[in-house]
A and B are shown apart, each in its own frame.
Chain A
Amino acid sequence: MLTILFDGVAYGMLLFVLAIGLSVTLGLMNFINLAHGAFAMAGGYVTVLLMRHYGVPFLLCVPIAFVVTAAMGAVLERILYRAMYDKPALDQVLFSIGLAFIAVTIVDYSIGSSEQIIQLPQWLRGRTELVFGDHVLAMGHYRLLIIAVCIALTFVLQYILTRTRFGSRLRAAVDDQRVADGLGINVNVIFLSTFAVGSGLAGVGGALGSEVLGLDPTFPFKFMIYFLIVVAIGGTSSLSGPLLASLILGIADVTGKYYMPKLGSFIVYAVMIVILLWRPEGLFVKRGAR
Chain B
Amino acid sequence: MTVARLKTLDPTDRRSEKARLNQLIDIISSDISTEANRRKYPAFVSGITTPITSSLHNTIFDQDHTLQSSNALFDISFGVYAKTQITNNTSTITGSAVVTELNGTIDSAGKYNFSNTTSNMMREKINVYRQYAQSLLGDSGSVFRSSHTETDASTDNTTKIQEALFINVKRLFKRDNIAKGTFGMKFYNRTGDRNELTNDDAHALSGTLFTSPQTTGFKGRSKLISTSAEDPVFNQVTILDTNASTSYSVNPVSGEVSTLKMYLGSALPVNVGLIFYDMGVIVLDVNKIFDLNDAVQGVINFPDEIASTKIFALKGGEQSVNLPAGQKAIGHTTDTGANLKKFLQLATVDDIIKHFCEARFTDTSNTAITFQNETIINSTIFFCNAAASDFNYSTNPTYIDANGKIVIVKNITDQPFSYITTVGLYNNAGDLLAVAKLSRPIEKNPNNQLTIRVRLDY
Task: Answer whether A and B are interacting partners.
Answer: no
Which residues of B come within 8 Å of A, CB atoms? Answer: none
